A and B are shown apart, each in its own frame.
Chain A
Amino acid sequence: GAVVSQHPSWVICKSGTSVKIECRSLDFQATTMFWYRQFPKQSLMLMATSNEGSKATYEQGVEKDKFLINHASLTLSTLTVTSAHPEDSSFYICSARDRRVSTDTQYFGPGTRLTVL
């Protein structure tokens, strides 16, 4: 149980285009999902917290107009990188917290590798 999927697993796009990444909890409902960014050989940095039915909460320094987050249902959150540029190239990982379990455990997706040319 507690499986989180991401789609796509990798994407290459031209500079100036927008890219949407989906995060799904496959066998549980998640009222809260999280989006992280990981640069090569570095740790994960929390970008934003996505709440079902409300606006996402962004960490300091993360542009909310650049990284649009929509948590449309209890099993789906999307991250859209708008007008992507090469510096947005990174590994994006989502995680979800199971609403049935009152712990801090987050279940992570496999990640999406974004390369902006």
Chain B
Amino acid sequence: AQSVTQLDSHVSVSEGTPVLLRCNYSSSYSPSLFWYVQHPNKGLQLLLKYTSAATLVKGINGFEAEFKKSETSFHLTKPSAHMSDAAEYFCVVTYYGGSQGNLIFGKGTKLSVKP
């Protein structure tokens, strides 16, 4: 069975410092992994996705994530946080070629950015 665990419910950083949002997954198959961002009262925006190509995935707004099979992790990073990065971030797992409706969401990590 597939599952995803976001290790931190809340992360607080200062503007200009690095961001690390942690995600571990469990999958019996070759997973596809996503990071979505949700700003308050807004829908979800795709930041980046991993689908068995390069293990280091670059996304929008300077975010990137590295797929580490040995650690079953897909942590999201950004070298320098911006105030506009404050939002809720969801790590999502699915398995490639799976049946419809098989996105499994983590519980989310709220990122706060202090000036």
A binds B: yes
Dominant secondary structure of chain A at its interface with chain B: strand
User: Could you tell me how many residues of chain B have their Cβ less than 8 Å away from some Cβ of chain A?
Assistant: 24
Cα-based distance from A58 to B77 in the complex (angstroms): 35
- Shortest C-beta distance, A95 to chain B (Å), equals 8
Contacts between the two chains (Cβ within 8 Å), count: 60
Decide if the interface of chain B is mainly helix, strand, loop or mixed.
loop
**How big is the A interface, by class?**
20 to 34
Q: How far is the CA of A45 from the CA of B106 in the complex (A)?
A: 10
0/1 string, B78-115, CB within 8 A of A gives 1: 00000000000010001110101111011110000000
**Chain B contacts for A48, CB-based, 8 A:** 101
Which residues of B are interface residues toward A (Cβ below 8 A)? 32, 34, 36, 41-46, 49, 51, 90, 94-96, 98, 100-103, 105-108
